[in-house]
Structure 1
Amino acid sequence: MPADSPNYAIARIDLPDALTHGWQVRLQRRGIKYAKFFADAPLGGIEASLLTARKWRDCLLKRIETEDRARICQRSTRNSSGVVGVSKVSVVTNGVRYTFWQATWSPESGKRRCVKFSIKRYGDTQAFELAVLARTDATGH
């Protein structure tokens, strides 16, 4: 269901044998699962429980979006380069270690781009500077 649908991330649950009737909100962002069930009876019926589920979902989405913005704009404690979106990466392929500086950014929601600069080819300082420049060019900051 598209994110702009009124019932995005909301599903109807009707289990007569278990006397369970209501709406289930389920979302997952960055590996974290969020879920809450809104039973009809205590909330005044099907429509009232649906409205309550939508309000909870909308508040959750706003909170997640705010947290994502804060995360994107702040340097992570795991960042050792000092530049957001630039990291030193080492990989081993067929027993050979390759080390490079990588610039990563998100051109739009749900998309991720990266470019790598070999330390062997450019040297540590120049590879780092190229990664910073690539990130700056791509994001404008």
Structure 2
Amino acid sequence: MDNEVSRTHGWLVTIQRRGVIHRKHFSDGVHGGKQKSFAAAKGYRDEVISNNPPFSMREYSNIVKKNNRSGVVGVCRYCASETRDLSEDKQRWFWVASWPLPDGRRKRVKFSVKKYGEEGAFKMALKARKDALRGLDGAFDPGAVRRKPARRKAAADTPTELRKAA
């Protein structure tokens, strides 16, 4: 932070963990220059992170949201949008299981109520989510979804025919 108007120079550390915001300013003047205040800010950041580790993917995946109506995190009842305006007997309903992937995207699997019945589709969605969460490892990265994955130049710029032959 360098603001000539307020004569504020330094580093600001802000970290949120489990609803608590850890915030501290490190002034260049108090710490004896930019490098020293930066080192103090990094030290504080590292200390906060070590004392308050980020959610694991599994922990994050089990947070109950305010809008949850099924009673189960990551499982919801869904009407296919193209049938929503049709009469009830023509609507297509599903139970959907969803879970986060390490790169920030979400995986969804749906089970037809017409095909499996209300209870059968619900149980299948529960099982699909439970099985997927078992394989979920690592820390939750809230910025992953905003970052675009790097494009593989060789594969992206090679004609399809050449890729198939390779």
TM-score by length of 1: 0.61
Equivalent in 4, 29, 32 of residue 16 of structure 1: 4
Are 1:88 and 1:99, in contact at CA under 8 Å, matched by a contact in 2?
A: no
- Secondary structure (helix, strand or coil) at the match of 1:17 reads coil
What displacement does 1:61 show?
4.0
Equivalent residue for 2:101?
Answer: 107
Change (3 A) 1:44 1:26: same
Mapped pair 1:80 → 2:71: yes
Q: Percent identity?
A: 31
Are 2:61 and 2:99, in contact at CA under 8 Å, matched by a contact in 1?
A: no
- Secondary structure (helix, strand or coil) at the match of 2:101 reads coil
Are 1:24 and 1:36, in contact at CA under 8 Å, matched by a contact in 2?
A: yes
Q: Which runs of structure 2 are paired with 1:15-94 in the superposition (5 Å)? A: 15-26=3-14, 36-62=24-50, 63=52, 65=54, 68-69=55-56, 71-72=59-60, 76=64, 80-81=71-72, 85-91=73-79, 93=81, 94=84
Equivalents in 2 of 1:100, 1:37: separation in Å? Answer: 50
Coordinate RMSD, CA, aligned: 3.8
Q: Partner letter of residue 75 of structure 2?
A: S
- Secondary structure (helix, strand or coil) at the match of 2:10 reads strand
Equivalents in 1 of 2:6, 2:63: separation in Å? Answer: 48
What displacement does 1:37 show?
3.1
- Secondary structure (helix, strand or coil) at the match of 1:18 reads coil
Equivalents in 2 of 1:87, 1:19: separation in Å? Answer: 52
What displacement does 1:90 show?
3.5
Q: Could you list the runs of 5+ residues in structure 2 that have no partner in the other structure?
A: 136-166
Q: Partner letter of residue 41 of structure 1?
A: G
Are 1:99 and 1:120, in contact at CA under 8 Å, matched by a contact in 2?
A: yes
Aligned residues: 124
Q: Partner letter of residue 134 of structure 1?
A: A
Higher strand share: 1
Equivalent residue for 1:125?
Answer: 119
Change (3 A) 1:98 1:21: farther
Change (3 A) 1:110 1:74: closer
Equivalents in 2 of 1:28, 1:111: separation in Å? Answer: 22
What displacement does 1:40 show?
1.2
